Amino acid sequence: KGRRSVLVRAEGINPEIRKSEEEVVDSVIVTELSKPLTAYCRCWRSGTFPLCDGSHVKHNKSTGDNVGPLLLKRQ
């Protein structure tokens, strides 16, 4: 646990997953959603958590990280 907290401070929230991508964004297609698109935060910095409010952009710029939201899309 102690090692993980050191990695987060030194390299951002994502130390190794899909680092070649500008932002790690995943989509899930579902058939029943009230809204056509819902974005869930995966950077833990959203002011509207668990929903994404775009705060990951500032986090990525300041840390060099590449985190992005999980997108739920209505089919």
User: Which one of 13, 14, 41, 65 is in contact with ligand FES (CB under 6 A)?
Assistant: 41
Tell the smallest beta-carbon distance from residue 45 to ligand FES (Å): 5
Q: How far is the CB of 38 from ligand FES (least distance, A)?
A: 12
Binding status of residue 14 toward ligand FES by CB under 6 A: no
Kindly report the CA angle at 8 between 20 and 37, in degrees rounded to 5? 60
C-alpha to C-alpha distance for 31 and 73, rounded to whole angstroms: 8
Tell me the C-alpha distance between 38 and 30, whole Å.
11
Q: Which of 8, 11, 45, 73 binds ligand FES (CB under 6 A)?
A: 45
